[in-house]
Amino acid sequence: MANTSSNEARAYGRYIRGSASKVRRVLDQIRGRSYRDALIMLEFMPYRSTGPITKVLRSAVANAEHNLGLDPSTLVICQASADMGPALKRFRPRAQGRAYAIKKQTCHISIAVAPSA
């Protein structure tokens, strides 16, 4: 991880069901935006991953507000990333007695917010 400033609040969502690549396409849209703009964007995006991302974002802002005493209206998303988590391995029956492996992906979401400069 890069330089962590003292007035930066982080939150993590671990073992979130969904692939990291699908979560990254949403995080790329909100990275660098203000907290309020990001919430509005997440509300109207048609992706399933916006729910867990909104939850982690609200947690990061709550950490900034309660632990660092920052005003939520000044916060900007300075870092947002999604890393792969462990895959849940399941099997599906197929023709002629074969088993078809299904990997249900999980990911870890990390969001950091800091006051705008």
In this structure, what CATH number is given to the domain that contains residue 76? 3.90.470.10
Non-local CB neighbours of 2 within 8 Å, separated by 6+ positions: 79
83, part of any domain? yes
93, part of any domain? yes
49, part of any domain? yes
- Report the candidate in 115, 116, 112 with the shortest Cα–Cα distance to residue 10: 112
Average of per-residue pLDDT across 17-30? 96
Please report the pLDDT score of residue 5 as a whole number.
Answer: 64
Average of per-residue pLDDT across 45-66? 95
48, part of any domain? yes
> How high does pLDDT run on average in the chain?
93
Tokens of residue 25, six digits: 């396409």
Domain count, the chain: 1
Average of per-residue pLDDT across 106-111? 97
Q: What is the pLDDT of residues 65-90, one digit of tens each?
A: 999 999 999 999 999 999 999 999 99
User: Measured in Å, how far apart are the chain's first and last C-alpha atoms?
Assistant: 21
Please report the pLDDT score of residue 93 as a whole number.
Answer: 96
Place of tokens 């990254």: 24
Average of per-residue pLDDT across 91-100? 96
Please report the pLDDT score of residue 116 as a whole number.
Answer: 86
Give the Å distances, CA to CA, from 84 to 26, 41, 63: 15, 24, 24
Band (6; pLDDT cuts 50, 70, 90): confident
Taking the model in full, what pTM does it have? 0.89
3, part of any domain? no
2, part of any domain? no
Non-local CB neighbours of 49 within 8 Å, separated by 6+ positions: 16, 18, 22, 23, 26
1, part of any domain? no
Residue 1 has pLDDT above 60, yes or no: no
16, part of any domain? yes
Q: Could you list the residue range(s) of the whole structural domain that residue 40 is in?
A: 9-115
